[in-house]
Amino acid sequence: MVEAVTVSVEVRERTGKGAARAQRRAGRIPAVIYGDKQDPITISVDDRELTKLFHSPRFFTQIFELNLDGEKHQVLARDLQVHPVTDGPLHVDFMRFNQETRIVLLIPATFINDELSPGLKRGGVLNIVRREVELLCSPLNIPGELVFDLEGLDIGDAIHIGATELPEDVATTTDRDFTVATIAAPTLMPSDEEEAESEEGEEGEEGMDGEEGVDGEVVSEDTAVPDPSDDGANSND
Protein backbone atom coordinates (compact mmCIF):
# COMPACT_ATOMS: atom_id res chain seq x y z
CA MET A 1 0.00 0.00 0.00
CA VAL A 2 1.18 3.51 -0.82
CA GLU A 3 1.55 5.69 2.27
CA ALA A 4 -0.10 9.11 2.30
CA VAL A 5 1.98 12.25 1.76
CA THR A 6 0.91 15.28 3.80
CA VAL A 7 0.59 18.59 1.93
CA SER A 8 -0.39 21.93 3.47
CA VAL A 9 -2.94 23.90 1.43
CA GLU A 10 -4.82 27.17 1.79
CA VAL A 11 -8.36 28.19 0.95
CA ARG A 12 -8.63 30.20 -2.26
CA GLU A 13 -11.27 32.89 -1.76
CA ARG A 14 -11.37 34.24 -5.31
CA THR A 15 -11.84 32.22 -8.48
CA GLY A 16 -11.48 32.97 -12.18
CA LYS A 17 -8.56 33.44 -14.58
CA GLY A 18 -7.43 36.76 -13.10
CA ALA A 19 -7.40 35.39 -9.55
CA ALA A 20 -5.57 32.25 -10.74
CA ARG A 21 -2.85 34.31 -12.43
CA ALA A 22 -2.45 36.37 -9.26
CA GLN A 23 -2.03 33.18 -7.24
CA ARG A 24 0.70 31.92 -9.57
CA ARG A 25 2.55 35.25 -9.38
CA ALA A 26 2.46 34.86 -5.60
CA GLY A 27 4.09 31.41 -5.85
CA ARG A 28 0.95 29.34 -5.34
CA ILE A 29 -0.85 26.97 -7.72
CA PRO A 30 -4.68 26.98 -7.90
CA ALA A 31 -6.36 23.66 -7.13
CA VAL A 32 -9.72 22.16 -6.21
CA ILE A 33 -10.92 19.35 -3.93
CA TYR A 34 -14.03 17.53 -5.18
CA GLY A 35 -15.90 14.23 -4.99
CA ASP A 36 -17.36 11.88 -2.36
CA LYS A 37 -20.73 13.68 -2.64
CA GLN A 38 -19.38 16.81 -0.95
CA ASP A 39 -19.15 20.39 -2.14
CA PRO A 40 -15.93 21.31 -3.96
CA ILE A 41 -13.36 23.46 -2.17
CA THR A 42 -11.09 25.83 -4.08
CA ILE A 43 -7.57 25.81 -2.64
CA SER A 44 -3.98 26.70 -3.51
CA VAL A 45 -0.73 24.75 -3.10
CA ASP A 46 2.83 26.03 -2.74
CA ASP A 47 4.39 26.09 -6.21
CA ARG A 48 7.74 24.56 -5.20
CA GLU A 49 6.13 21.80 -3.14
CA LEU A 50 3.68 20.86 -5.89
CA THR A 51 6.41 20.91 -8.56
CA LYS A 52 8.50 18.51 -6.48
CA LEU A 53 5.53 16.17 -6.05
CA PHE A 54 4.55 16.47 -9.70
CA HIS A 55 7.93 15.15 -10.87
CA SER A 56 7.48 12.00 -8.81
CA PRO A 57 6.72 8.99 -11.06
CA ARG A 58 3.81 8.04 -8.76
CA PHE A 59 2.06 11.40 -8.69
CA PHE A 60 -1.28 9.99 -9.92
CA THR A 61 -1.15 6.84 -7.75
CA GLN A 62 -0.01 8.59 -4.57
CA ILE A 63 -2.48 9.27 -1.74
CA PHE A 64 -2.21 12.86 -0.51
CA GLU A 65 -3.44 14.06 2.86
CA LEU A 66 -4.28 17.73 2.39
CA ASN A 67 -4.07 19.77 5.58
CA LEU A 68 -6.55 22.64 5.25
CA ASP A 69 -6.57 24.73 8.45
CA GLY A 70 -6.24 21.57 10.55
CA GLU A 71 -8.87 19.63 8.59
CA LYS A 72 -7.50 16.55 6.79
CA HIS A 73 -8.66 15.50 3.32
CA GLN A 74 -7.42 12.22 1.84
CA VAL A 75 -7.32 12.64 -1.94
CA LEU A 76 -5.80 11.46 -5.21
CA ALA A 77 -4.56 13.75 -7.96
CA ARG A 78 -6.83 13.12 -10.95
CA ASP A 79 -5.98 15.92 -13.35
CA LEU A 80 -3.06 18.29 -13.78
CA GLN A 81 -2.75 21.21 -16.18
CA VAL A 82 0.81 22.20 -17.12
CA HIS A 83 2.35 25.15 -18.96
CA PRO A 84 2.88 24.34 -22.67
CA VAL A 85 6.44 25.73 -22.65
CA THR A 86 7.86 25.31 -19.13
CA ASP A 87 5.87 22.17 -18.18
CA GLY A 88 5.28 23.79 -14.80
CA PRO A 89 1.97 23.02 -13.00
CA LEU A 90 -0.90 25.46 -13.60
CA HIS A 91 -3.85 23.77 -11.89
CA VAL A 92 -4.55 20.44 -10.19
CA ASP A 93 -7.76 18.55 -9.35
CA PHE A 94 -7.78 16.47 -6.17
CA MET A 95 -10.48 13.81 -5.74
CA ARG A 96 -11.81 12.68 -2.36
CA PHE A 97 -12.50 8.99 -1.91
CA ASN A 98 -13.93 6.50 0.58
CA GLN A 99 -13.66 2.77 1.23
CA GLU A 100 -16.12 1.98 -1.55
CA THR A 101 -14.33 4.01 -4.22
CA ARG A 102 -12.74 2.12 -7.12
CA ILE A 103 -10.54 3.83 -9.69
CA VAL A 104 -8.60 2.74 -12.79
CA LEU A 105 -4.87 3.42 -12.55
CA LEU A 106 -1.73 2.53 -14.51
CA ILE A 107 0.74 0.71 -12.25
CA PRO A 108 4.41 0.30 -13.36
CA ALA A 109 5.82 -3.19 -13.93
CA THR A 110 9.28 -4.08 -12.63
CA PHE A 111 11.38 -7.20 -13.24
CA ILE A 112 13.79 -8.88 -10.83
CA ASN A 113 16.38 -11.70 -10.87
CA ASP A 114 17.44 -11.16 -14.48
CA GLU A 115 20.81 -12.71 -13.56
CA LEU A 116 18.97 -15.97 -12.72
CA SER A 117 17.29 -16.28 -16.14
CA PRO A 118 18.98 -18.92 -18.36
CA GLY A 119 17.55 -17.23 -21.44
CA LEU A 120 19.07 -13.85 -20.61
CA LYS A 121 22.38 -15.49 -19.71
CA ARG A 122 22.50 -17.01 -23.21
CA GLY A 123 22.08 -13.61 -24.82
CA GLY A 124 18.29 -13.40 -24.87
CA VAL A 125 16.51 -10.06 -24.62
CA LEU A 126 13.76 -9.03 -22.20
CA ASN A 127 10.99 -7.75 -24.47
CA ILE A 128 8.64 -5.67 -22.29
CA VAL A 129 5.14 -5.63 -23.75
CA ARG A 130 3.52 -3.58 -20.97
CA ARG A 131 5.62 -1.18 -18.92
CA GLU A 132 2.45 -0.19 -17.07
CA VAL A 133 -0.56 -2.36 -16.26
CA GLU A 134 -4.10 -0.98 -16.04
CA LEU A 135 -5.71 -2.01 -12.74
CA LEU A 136 -8.99 -1.36 -10.96
CA CYS A 137 -7.93 -0.37 -7.45
CA SER A 138 -9.21 0.67 -4.08
CA PRO A 139 -7.48 3.97 -3.24
CA LEU A 140 -6.67 2.49 0.17
CA ASN A 141 -4.67 -0.36 -1.34
CA ILE A 142 -2.87 0.95 -4.44
CA PRO A 143 0.26 -1.11 -5.25
CA GLY A 144 3.37 0.96 -5.83
CA GLU A 145 4.53 -1.46 -8.53
CA LEU A 146 3.94 -4.94 -9.92
CA VAL A 147 6.97 -7.22 -9.49
CA PHE A 148 7.68 -10.06 -11.94
CA ASP A 149 10.36 -12.68 -11.22
CA LEU A 150 12.56 -13.74 -14.17
CA GLU A 151 14.28 -16.63 -12.36
CA GLY A 152 14.35 -19.82 -14.44
CA LEU A 153 12.90 -18.28 -17.59
CA ASP A 154 14.42 -19.31 -20.93
CA ILE A 155 14.28 -17.98 -24.48
CA GLY A 156 10.71 -18.19 -25.79
CA ASP A 157 9.10 -18.00 -22.35
CA ALA A 158 6.39 -15.39 -21.66
CA ILE A 159 5.55 -13.59 -18.42
CA HIS A 160 1.80 -13.17 -17.88
CA ILE A 161 -0.10 -10.97 -15.43
CA GLY A 162 -0.94 -14.10 -13.45
CA ALA A 163 2.75 -14.45 -12.54
CA THR A 164 2.39 -11.73 -9.89
CA GLU A 165 0.01 -11.63 -6.93
CA LEU A 166 -2.33 -8.66 -6.87
CA PRO A 167 -3.22 -7.04 -3.53
CA GLU A 168 -6.67 -7.31 -2.02
CA ASP A 169 -9.32 -5.11 -3.69
CA VAL A 170 -7.13 -4.82 -6.81
CA ALA A 171 -7.99 -6.47 -10.14
CA THR A 172 -7.14 -6.17 -13.81
CA THR A 173 -9.62 -4.46 -16.12
CA THR A 174 -9.83 -7.62 -18.28
CA ASP A 175 -10.26 -11.30 -17.49
CA ARG A 176 -7.48 -12.35 -19.88
CA ASP A 177 -4.14 -13.60 -18.54
CA PHE A 178 -2.36 -11.18 -20.85
CA THR A 179 1.36 -11.07 -21.60
CA VAL A 180 3.50 -8.50 -19.79
CA ALA A 181 6.92 -9.48 -21.23
CA THR A 182 8.76 -12.21 -23.12
CA ILE A 183 12.31 -13.57 -23.32
CA ALA A 184 13.20 -13.09 -26.99
CA ALA A 185 16.02 -14.70 -28.94
CA PRO A 186 19.07 -12.48 -29.51
CA THR A 187 19.47 -10.62 -32.79
CA LEU A 188 23.12 -10.76 -33.89
CA MET A 189 24.26 -7.67 -35.75
CA PRO A 190 27.96 -7.00 -36.51
CA SER A 191 29.30 -3.96 -34.74
CA ASP A 192 30.98 -1.07 -36.56
CA GLU A 193 34.39 -2.16 -35.24
CA GLU A 194 33.91 -5.71 -36.49
CA GLU A 195 32.92 -4.45 -39.95
CA ALA A 196 35.94 -2.13 -40.05
CA GLU A 197 38.30 -4.97 -39.07
CA SER A 198 36.79 -7.21 -41.74
CA GLU A 199 37.29 -4.59 -44.45
CA GLU A 200 40.89 -3.97 -43.37
CA GLY A 201 41.58 -7.71 -43.51
CA GLU A 202 40.25 -7.98 -47.06
CA GLU A 203 42.33 -5.00 -48.20
CA GLY A 204 45.44 -6.56 -46.65
CA GLU A 205 44.90 -9.84 -48.52
CA GLU A 206 44.47 -8.01 -51.82
CA GLY A 207 47.70 -6.06 -51.25
CA MET A 208 49.70 -9.29 -50.77
CA ASP A 209 48.72 -10.62 -54.22
CA GLY A 210 51.35 -9.84 -56.92
CA GLU A 211 50.97 -9.55 -60.70
CA GLU A 212 50.93 -12.81 -62.61
CA GLY A 213 53.42 -13.20 -65.42
CA VAL A 214 53.72 -15.83 -68.12
CA ASP A 215 52.52 -19.31 -67.13
CA GLY A 216 51.05 -17.92 -63.93
CA GLU A 217 54.41 -17.06 -62.35
CA VAL A 218 54.52 -14.09 -60.02
CA VAL A 219 56.74 -11.36 -61.41
CA SER A 220 58.03 -8.51 -59.29
CA GLU A 221 58.83 -5.05 -60.59
CA ASP A 222 62.58 -5.78 -60.32
CA THR A 223 62.41 -8.85 -62.57
CA ALA A 224 63.33 -8.13 -66.21
CA VAL A 225 61.25 -9.81 -68.87
CA PRO A 226 63.37 -10.98 -71.85
CA ASP A 227 62.73 -9.10 -75.11
CA PRO A 228 61.93 -11.53 -77.94
CA SER A 229 63.89 -9.30 -80.38
CA ASP A 230 67.12 -10.10 -78.54
CA ASP A 231 66.86 -13.76 -79.57
CA GLY A 232 66.57 -12.74 -83.21
CA ALA A 233 69.68 -10.56 -83.04
CA ASN A 234 71.78 -13.31 -81.48
CA SER A 235 70.76 -15.82 -84.12
CA ASN A 236 72.13 -13.58 -86.91
CA ASP A 237 75.55 -13.58 -85.27
Q: Would you state the pLDDT for residue 156?
A: 96
% of residues, the chain, pLDDT over 90: 64
Do 125 and 87 share a domain, yes or no? no
Q: Would you state the pLDDT for residue 55?
A: 87
- Express each pLDDT in 122-173 by its tens digit: 999 999 999 999 999 998 889 989 999 999 999 999 999 999 999 888 999 9
First-to-final CA distance of the chain = 115
Do 91 and 114 share a domain, yes or no? no
| β-pair partners for 217 | none
Residue 8 has pLDDT above 70, yes or no: yes
Sheet of strand 179-184, all strands in order from the earlier edge strand to the far edge: 125-128, 179-184, 158-160
Query: What is the residue type of 168?
Result: E
Query: What is the residue type of 115?
Result: E
Q: Would you state the pLDDT for residue 232?
A: 46
Domain that holds residue 142: 103-184
Average pLDDT over residues 32-42: 94
- Express each pLDDT in 72-112 by its tens digit: 999 999 999 999 998 889 999 999 998 899 999 999 999 99
Write the burial class of residue 78 (CB in 10 Å: 0-12 exposed, 13-18 middle, 19+ buried).
Answer: middle
Confidence of residue 187 (pLDDT cuts 50, 70, 90): confident
Task: For 16, list phi and psi in degrees, rounded to 5.
Answer: 110, 165
E strand or H helix that includes residue 198: helix 192-208
Write the CATH number for 119. Answer: 2.170.120.20
Q: Would you state the pLDDT for residue 99?
A: 87
Confidence of residue 212 (pLDDT cuts 50, 70, 90): very low
Do 80 and 107 share a domain, yes or no? no
Structural domains counted in the chain: 2
Classify residue 162 by its DSSP letter.
Answer: G
Residue 121 has pLDDT above 90, yes or no: yes
Report which of residues 211 and 26 the model is more confident about. 26
Domain boundary among 96, 128, 156: 96
Write the CATH number for 62. Answer: 2.40.240.10
Do 14 and 90 share a domain, yes or no? yes
Residue 193 lies in a domain: no
